[in-house]
Amino acid sequence: MIRNTKMLYFPMYNDKYGKLVPVEANGNVPFDVKRVYYIYEVMDGMRRGFHSHRDLQQALICIHGSVKILVKTPFEEDVVCLNNPQEALWIGPMVWREMYDFENDGVLLVLASEHYTEDDYIRDYQSYEQEAKVFFNVKEKRTYK
Ligand code: T46
C-alpha cells in the first residue's frame, strides 16, 4: 500500500436471515464519521475523482459489485480493487484518487471524517504535486502510517 492508505477489515455476521457487517466510527473505522455518501450507476468507461483532499480521511467500501481505485502520491501509486463489503480502503490526507471500472452495478459507499467543503479539495494535479511534496517531506508527522 502507498503512504496514507491502508485496508480495513470488518467482521460479518451470517445467519439464516442473511449477512450483516457492522462498521463503527472510532472502532473499526479510525475516525469520527461526519458524513456518508454513495456513488452508483456509474456508466461504463467513466472515471471519477481526479482530486486529493488536504485534511479529509475517508473509508471507501464497495457494498455491491466492484470498483477500482487508483491512489497516488508524487512518489508512488497503487490500484486497489474493492469487491468485498467486508473491506474498506482508508485514504488519509493528500492522496490523489481516481475511481473507475464500476462493474456489476458497483455501489461505492464512502464514510468521511468531515462535512463537505470544496476548500479541502485539490483538483489540479500540478498544484496537488507541489503541495504533496511539501506535505510529505516537511510535515511527515501529519501522515498516519
Ligand atoms: C472522494 C471520492 C471518493 C456534495 O454536495 N456533497 C458531498 O458530500 C460530495 C462528496 C459531493 N457533493 C457534490 C459536489 C459535486 O457537485 O456532488 C458532486 C459530485 O462530486 P465529485 O465530482 O467531487 O465526486 P467524485 O466522485 O469525483 O468524488 C467523490 C468525493 O467528492 C471525494 O471526496 O474522495 O468521491
Render pLDDT for 21-57 as a digit per residue (tens, 0 to 9).
999 999 999 999 999 999 999 999 999 999 999 999 9
Query: What per-residue confidence (pLDDT) applies to 137?
Result: 86
Quote the ligand 1 centre to 17 CA distance (angstroms).
Answer: 34
Judge whether 3 and 133 are in contact, CB under 8 Å. no
Residue 141 has pLDDT above 60, yes or no: no
Does residue 9's CB lie within 6 angstroms of at least one atom of ligand 1?
Answer: no
Q: Which amino acid is at 44?
A: D
- Tell whether the model's pLDDT for residue 143 goes beyond 60: no
Residue-wise DSSP of 57-102: -EEEEEEEEEEEEEEEETTEEEEEEE--TTEEEEE-TT-EEEEEEE
C-alpha cell at 9: 477489515
Mean pLDDT, range 8-24, rounded to an integer? 98
Active site residue 51: yes
Q: 64 and 101 in contact (C-beta within 8 Å)?
A: no
Confidence of residue 104 (pLDDT cuts 50, 70, 90): very high
Domain 5-135: which CATH class?
A: mainly beta
d(Cα 71, Cα 68) in Å, to the nearest integer?
Answer: 10
- Please tell me the residue having the least CA distance from ligand 1 atom 23: 49
Q: Which residues lie across from 65 on neighbouring strands? A: none
Tell me the pTM: 0.95
Q: In the structure, what pLDDT confidence band is assigned to residue 140 with cuts at 50, 70 and 90?
A: low
Q: Whose CA is nearest to atom 2 of ligand 1?
A: 49
Domain ranges of the chain: 5-135
